[in-house]
Structure formats: C-alpha cells, structure tokens
Chains A and B, each alone.
Chain A
Amino acid sequence: MPLTRARRSGELVKENAPLLSVRDLSVAFSQGDQRTTAVDRISFDIARGETVALVGESGSGKSVTALSVLKLLQYPAASHPTGQILFKGADLLAMDGRELRKVRGNDITMIFQEPMTSLNPLHSIEDQIGEILKLHGGMRDAQARERTLELLREVGIREPEKRLSAYPHQLSGGQRQRVMIAMALANRPQLLIADEPTTALDVTVQAQILKLLRELKVTHGMSMLFITHDLGIVRRIADRVCVMTRGKIVEEGPTTEIFGDPQHEYTRHLLAAEPKGTPPPANATAKTVMSGKDVRVWFPIKEGFFRKTVGHVRAVDGIDVTVKAGQTLGVVGESGSGKTTLGLALARMISSEGQIEFDGRPIDQLSFKEMRPLRRELQIVFQDPFGSLSPRMSVSEIIQEGLSIHAPELSAAERDARVVDVLGEVGLDPSTRHRYPHEFSGGQRQRIAIARAMVLKPRFVMLDEPTSALDMSVQAQVVDLLRDLQKKHDLAYLFISHDLKVVRALANEVVVMRNGEVVEHGTAEQIFDNPQTDYTKALIAAAFKIEAPADSDVSE
C-alpha cells in the first residue's frame, strides 16, 4: 500500500490522507449548443511518493484529466459538472486564480509531451528556469543562476555552464525534455504530472528520461501522475495503474496485478494490442524492384556574405540498399540518423548522388517531369496522417488526385468506383468518402493515406514511420493491413521507423543507420536475435526492455 512506499521514499507520512484525491470528477466541453462529456465521474488517489499511471488511447480523456488538476483547460468552454480535486485536503477546483497560481509550478508541476513547443523559443535556458525560481522562490539573479546550474546537473545535462545561454532550438529533443523536467523540479514540487513526457522522443532517449524520472522521484520523495498510452512504460515506472477509456476509469490496481491478471475486457485489449505477426519469409530469388548504390545526400553548410560552402552535413553517406518485390526492408535508427532522407532520395523527392535503379532502369538522372510517369509505381506514405491530408479536400478528392494524373482516361464514375474499391480494401466505409479528413481518427486517416498510395497500384511503397503517430492498438491494425496489402499485391516496402517492435512485425531485412551511415545490415533474425554492434544492442534494449544504455552508445 502507499504507506509503505512513502516510508521507503524517505518522506515522513504525516497523515494517512492521500496527497491528491480526485473525487467523482467530470469534464464537459461545450461548443455552441453541443455539449460533450470528455471525462465521466472518475475517482482516484495518489499517495505521497507514489506513481500513478493513467493509461488509455487517444481520446480517452487522460490528458484532460491531467490538465484539469491544475485547471489548465480552456474555460469556460470546459466545465466540471461534478467532482472535487483535493490536494492536501483543499479543493483545487474551488480555488480562484490567485490561490491556484501559488500551487501551479510550486506544489504541483507539469511536464508536457512536446518539448519543441513547451519551451519558449525566444528565451534562453537560464531565463526559462530562472523565471520560475524568481516567481515562486523569490530568488535574486545570482541565487537563481546557482540553483539553475544545480538543477541542470541534477537532470543530467552535461556541462550546464555552457548550456545556460543556449536557446531551445540548440538542444536536442531529449535535452529539451530534461530542461522541462528541471523547470518542473525547480521548486521541489510534491506532485509531478507528466503528460506523455517521452512520446515525442527516440526510444533510447525515452529510456534515459524514464530512468531520470524514476531516480528523481525517489530522491525527492515526489508523487507522480504519469499519463501515457504505452503500457511498456507503465510497467517500468508506475506503482498503480488506472486504465481509462471513453472518459471512464474501467480498471484500477497495482501495476503487477493489472499486467498479471487484467479483469476488464478493455485492459486485455490494450495488453494484446502490440504489433504482432511475422513478416513474409525472406525470398532471395524475388525480383529486385528498387536498388540504390552508394547513395549520398549531402546538405551544404553555407557561411559568410557570399554564401560560400564551407562544409557538408552528411545526412546520407554512401548507402547501398536493395528492395525486392513482396519483401520489406526496414530502416531503423534514432531521429537524425538519415533514414527518412534516404527514403526520400530513393523516391527521388530530393536530389542525391549515387546510382538509383527502379525496375532495372536508372532513375537517378531523371528530372522531376521525367519522373512523373514513374510516380504511379513508386508511392510514399507519410508519417503524420494529420499533416499529409489536405484539410480542404474530401477523402474522395484526395484519393482521386493521383488517378486523374496517371489514369486520365477514366471517367468520373470509373474513378469514383476505384475510390470506393480501394476504401473497402483498406477497411474504411466507402460511403464516408465525401467527408473531410478532420472527421476521421488518426488511424482512419492513415488508412486514407494508404488508400491514396494503393489506388494507383504501385510496386514500391516507401513507408515513412506510418505508425508512429498512432495509438498502440491502431498501430497493430495498420501493420496487419500493410502486411495483407503486401501479400495481395506483391509490394516492395521500404519501411522507415524508429520503433523496432513495428519493424520486427513487418520487415524481413533490416538496415540500422546512424549519422547517415549503415551500422549494421542483415536479415531480421540476425539483427533482432543476434545484434553485433553496441548501437544496435542499445536500440533493441531500449525498445523492448526500456533500458537506458550506457551514455556513449547513443545520443543524448
């Protein structure tokens, strides 16, 4: 029980009452006359020194719950029809703005999902952390600077003195999230709310951040409310789990119990949702569809008044790849390793050097216009299903766009028939084709994006992290869909991902990339079962066991 855990964390338990107690909380949003209930009468407690995880898929109301603890929702559009949020016995929902501000950033702090946007790009690190210290702690400049250094050291930023004057864009994603954590810890909070703090990060960095949070929690005796959709993380970090779906908590209990003996159907569904299945067997005799030899993409670094080229960023530096019909080549690596650039170079979306052959025909010298007829057979599915569909075109228009270029002989009715056909193939209701993308969920949007590629009956498809923006159970469905389509149409996939679980379910050959170069290359079995390099081992450990690797192996 919480009591024992609190003792172990070194904090004296003054009273038996939980630190935070959410009672019967509802959140409703009203837009015009419509009123939707996002959170429906949920209750949970967080004891001192305890980590509670709220788990659920997107739209389950977990983030809304977290935001309402500090009343950070858009009021008055949002409202709380029922409920109390008791923090040390005081109802946060009943507090006025002035009292709340004393709690925010002081007793309760928050870290957000997107380290890109939650730091102000115009303020240096010192200013951002210093602001909180001055605001709540009443510190002077010198004092605040001292404490800022201390905090940065604590969250594992190397050489913090040099980083003080850095701006957010000069830091990597992991470093930015560390700065966010430092800001959250600045005033020694009693409760830290972490809203998907690692979702936007690489697996290796994710493991490091989780390790850091775990250590910090113990040394400071904090409680933590951890919001995530990733059950692997929950297992590593949480003492107790609340499973949320459609605004309700359907199951609650200690982590070991939830994972060992899930009671509710939805929990079981979540646990079973990891991408499964095996890729088609490797077939060395299959026809080569796409091959690249010594592919290089160097971006020039220009300096001075005359923009003289002083050096190059070697995004892709001499890579050989072969993709065969009916086979999947997985390209893995951390962000910034050049995997997407490689894919774009092969698809001739950016200029590159080196030989690229499609279907036995060299295409590296073709102009954009000469490439156009080939685009039908060479398709791309992008990462972000929210960005890759034009918000102003209906689904039918989006899917038809390629047809009108590559099959202009079709009549409008024939085109429409093809759209209906392909929507059925990707598992969407064809009668929804005149709707607009914003009416669809992330998974459905990705299906639309896949349909847009498939309607042209391509032979080679570059999949650029097609699952990374999706919920776990949706990921599994999309992976299944991709595998079915591959089997049916004998497609060659170039599958780019940082998520090794998905790669294992799809790829039969894997290239591991780092800093634009191939670190390791082999069949899926070789790479996953018997990795040779430390880098690959670190990636695999981080992805499957969420273990932080030694510092030297991966980026910070």
Chain B
Amino acid sequence: MSEIQLKTEVERVRKQTARPWLSPLNVRRWQNFKANRRGYWSLWIFLLLFVLTLFAELIANDRPLLASYKGELLVPVMVDYPEEKFGGFYAVTDYRDPFIMEEIEANGWVLWPPIRYSYYTVNNEIPAAAPAKPSWLYTKEERCARYPLGVEDPGCTIGNWNWLGTDDSARDVLARVIYGFRISVLFGLVLTLASAVIGVSAGAVQGYFGGWTDLIMQRFIEIWSAIPVLYLILIISAVLPPGFFILLGIMLLFSWVAFVGVVRAEFLRARNFEYVNAARALGVSNRTIMSRHLLPNAMVATLTFLPFILNGSITTLTSLDFLGLGLPPGAPSLGELLKQGQRNLTAPWLGITGFVTLSIMLSLLIFIGEATRDAFDPRKTFR
C-alpha cells in the first residue's frame, strides 16, 4: 500500500468511527442509578420541586404576572410601576389594594399567580387573629368576613386563600414554604459546591505531593477543625448583620474540611498507580496528572459524599434560623417557621408544615445520595 493510499485509508477509518458522546462507563452508571427506583423517582420529584421553586415569583407573588391597563400590556412581576400610573400616589404599586384592582379591572384585565402572596405579604383580611387557620377550614362566610363586600367581594377568591394558614405575622405559610425551600436548597448547593471545590483541591495537593506539604496542611486542618463553629457564628453575628452570603462565608470556612480526608487518601493511593507513572513518563505535568488521572478516582468518593454534605448544610442553616442566628428577620426560612411552630403550639399547621417540608426535602436528597453511591460503586461499574 502506498503512502497516499494509507493516508486515505486512515482518513476513512477515522471518519467512520466517531466518538460516542457518553462514555460506556457513565452509561453503566446511569443504568445503575436508574435501577435504584427510589432514588430515580426521588431525583425527578426533587428536580420538579426545585425547578418550581426556582420560579417561585411566578407561583406565589403579591403582584400580577401580566396586566392590561388602558391598552398597555404590563408585566408587574418584572417591572416596578409607580402607583401614579393607576391613579394612586405611592412610589410602588400595591396591587392587592382593592382600589388599584378595581381601576385595572375596569380598564383591562389582570393575570394573577396561583397564590397571591409573596413571602413577606401580610394578609390584612384574615378571618381570625394571626396565626390564622388554613382557609379551607373556614366556611365561605367566615373566610370573607373581613372583606369590605363580604361574600360578594371580588377579593375573596381562591387565589387569596391561605392554603396552609398564616404565621403569627399574618403572612401566608405556603408562600413562605415555597421561598424557604428555594433558599435552603440554594444555600445548601452553593455551600456544598464551594466547599467541594476547596476541599478537593486541598486534598488533591496534600495527597499528590505528600511529604512536608501533607504534614503541614494536615496539622493546620486539625487545628482549624477544632474551632467551635457555633461560637464563631454567635460572635460574628454580633458584629456583622447576618445575611445569606455572610452565613455562607462563615460556614464555608469550616465545611471544606469534610472533603479533604477522602480525597487525600484517594490521591495517596492512586499516585503510585502504574498509569500515573506512565503519564509521568510521557512528560505530563503535575497539574494535568492530578486533574486527568487522579481526580476521577477521587470524584467517586466525593460524589457519594455530596448529597450528605448538602443535607448537612441545609440542616445547619435551618438550625441557625431556628436559634435566630441565621438569615435576617423576615427572610423566608424553614427554621423560622419551625420556631413559630414552637412558639404557637395552638397553631399546629405551622409546626407540621415545617416538619413535613424539611423531612420530604431531606429524605429526597438522601435517597438520591444513596442511588448515586450505588451508581458509582466500582464493584458495579467495572464488571
């Protein structure tokens, strides 16, 4: 075969066989994951809930999604229209105000989200003193008693129901749960991912270089992890106003340590593997060896850890909120809901809602975690 023929032959073979997009290993893992039915369904349910709550503003809000006023299409959910537009005089429109509502209805139409409360909206028309029972426990007359026109009032619709009652500030519990779920999951996810990045890098450096690097960092981690985190948060929250990112920062300072151990052990074990030596013999740089050859090994251990760390982060945030050291007052938080449940034992819907939401969220995550662990089990993938 001549050189040119060989070239074309090579070219032909090359084009015929392209690379599959998902490696067989990952295909096998996905199959293992699917085989765990509980985890598989948990993943879908969790994703559904998470995506829904990501768009919480479109589900529970005190502003209409869309409105048509005098031929103009308005998007109140996105844009702050001053009240002057509708004949009022405040800088921000309160769409729940019956006067504004009548004005818009008279000159167009309004599309409300299914729940007409945001997490901070105070319901001024609750039938009894706050905390009020879920609306479906009242008769129609009771429910509409506080509206100006009683049963006939256009405001006394199903959109203004408090499906899970209100808390002791007359805010809608369901709206707060939706927003609280979102903030808990987001906090957990950001904290977990950030600590994974830091923890995995630290563990990788320790395990790969070993020796003095390992020794010094290991001692540092021992001292670091001996600092009592709760005290520190108490002290810092006395100085700084507690908020999402400050809490995240403080907890991140300590949570990355959880990953170091596994990753370091995995790197120590794998750095003398023959294929790592083979890569060194090819002249591959340390950084590439770490990321290409060693990290996948360590990621298996890390990934199986992730859901449990995620759960831990959420629980920590909730307990801080419960103690009143967490998110600022007024923020939608499940911990705060639990605290209200504890304070208002006569209003069981508060405690029950908080408990059910948390346990469903944490259980779903644990089930997903179990399925992930199964999927990455090397005994199941390499067979």
Binding site for B on A (CB under 8 A): 31, 347, 349, 371-373, 375-376, 379-380, 382-384, 387-394, 396, 401-402, 405-406, 413, 416-417, 420-421, 424, 430-431, 433-436, 438-439, 449, 452, 456
B183 to chain A, nearest CB (A): 36
Excluding A392-B296, A421-B6, 7 further A-B contacts by CB distance (< 8 Å) are A371-B283, A372-B283, A375-B281, A406-B283, A420-B13, A431-B13, A452-B278
Cβ–Cβ contact B23 & A394, under 8 A: yes
> How far does the alpha carbon of A513 sit from the alpha carbon of B166 in the complex, in Å?
86
B277 touches A349 (CB 8 A): yes
- Docked-complex contact A388 and B24, CB < 8 angstroms: no
B16 to chain A, nearest CB (A): 6
User: Which residues of chain B are within 8 angstroms of A401 by Cβ–Cβ distance?
Assistant: 279, 282, 284, 292
Are B283 and A375 closer than 8 Å at their CB atoms? yes
Name 17 interchain pairs, CB-CB below 8 A, sorted by A. A349-B280, A379-B282, A382-B277, A387-B275, A389-B275, A392-B23, A392-B25, A392-B296, A401-B279, A402-B284, A406-B283, A420-B10, A420-B13, A421-B6, A431-B17, A436-B24, A452-B282
**CB-defined contacts of B279 to chain A, threshold 8 Å:** 390, 401
Query: In the assembled complex, how far is the CB of residue A452 from the closest CB belonging to chain B, in whole angstroms?
Result: 7
- B20 contact set on A, CB distance < 8 A: 434
Q: Mark B272-290, 1 if CB is under 8 A from A, else 0.
A: 0111011111111100000
The answer to whether A390 and B277 touch across the interface, beta carbons within 8 angstroms, is no
| A384/B283 contact (C-beta < 8 A), A421-B10, A434-B17, A436-B23 known | no
Give A347 to B277 CA distance when docked, in angstroms.
12
Chain A residue numbers with a CB within 8 Å of B284 are 401-402, 405
B97 close to A (CB within 8 Å): no
How many interface residues does B have (CB within 8 Å)?
Answer: 31
CA distance A438 to B285 in the complex (A): 26
Q: Evaluate contact between A388 and B275: CB separation under 8 angstroms.
A: yes
Q: Evaluate contact between B281 and A380: CB separation under 8 angstroms.
A: yes
A325–B285 CA distance with the chains assembled, in angstroms: 28
Contact B25 A436 (CB under 8 A): yes
In the complex, chain B residues whose CB is within 8 Å of the CB of A393: 292
B11 contacts A by Cβ under 8 Å: yes
Inter-subunit contact B278/A434 (CB<8 Å): no
Q: A434-B20, A436-B24 are in contact. Are A413 and B14 (CB under 8 A)?
A: yes
Evaluate contact between A417 and B274: CB separation under 8 angstroms. Answer: no
User: Whole-angstrom distance from the CB of B15 to the nearest CB of chain A?
Assistant: 9
From B18, B19, B23, B281, give the contact of A349 (CB < 8 A).
B281
Return B115 CB to nearest CB of chain A, in Å.
47
Quick one: closest B residue to A31, CB to CB? B383
| CB-defined contacts of A371 to chain B, threshold 8 Å | 283
The minimal Cβ–Cβ distance linking A65 to chain B, given in whole angstroms, is 21
Residue of A nearest to B270 (CB): A390
Query: How far is B292's CA from A151's CA once the two chains are assembled, in angstroms?
Result: 51
B382 contacts the other chain (CB 8 A): yes
Question: Using Cβ atoms and an 8 Å threshold, which residues of chain B touch A456?
Answer: 282
Residues of B within 8 A of A416 (CB): 14
B293 interfacial contact with A, CB 8 Å = yes
In the assembled complex, the CB of B6 is this many whole angstroms from the nearest CB of chain A, namely 8
The chain B residue with its CB closest to the CB of A439 is B24
Determine which residue in A388, A392, A394 has the highest number of CB atoms from chain B within 10 A of its CB, and name it: A392
Given A390-B275, A392-B296: A417 in contact with B11 (beta carbons within 8 A): yes
Q: Pick the most buried of A347, A384, A430: most chain B CB atoms within 10 A of its CB.
A: A430
List the A side residues contacting B10 at CB < 8 Å: 417, 420-421, 424, 430
User: Is the CB–CB distance between A382 and B278 below 8 Å?
Assistant: yes
**Complex Cα spacing A393 to B288, Å:** 14
For residue B281, which residues in chain A have a CB less than 8 angstroms away from its CB? 347, 349, 375, 379-380
- In angstroms, how far is the closest chain A Cβ from the Cβ of B299? 10
B289 to chain A, nearest CB (A): 10
In Å, the complex CA distance between A430 and B285 comes to: 28
User: A402, B282: Cβ atoms under 8 Å?
Assistant: yes
- Give chain B residues whose Cβ lies under 8 Å from the Cβ of A382: 274, 277-278
Residues of A within 8 A of B274 (CB): 382-384, 387-388
A402 CA to B280 CA, complexed, in Å: 10
Note all chain B residues with C-beta closer than 8 A to A417.
10-11, 14
Nearest B-chain residue to A77, judged by Cβ: B383
Kindly list chain B residues whose C-beta atoms are within 8 Å of the C-beta of A396.
19
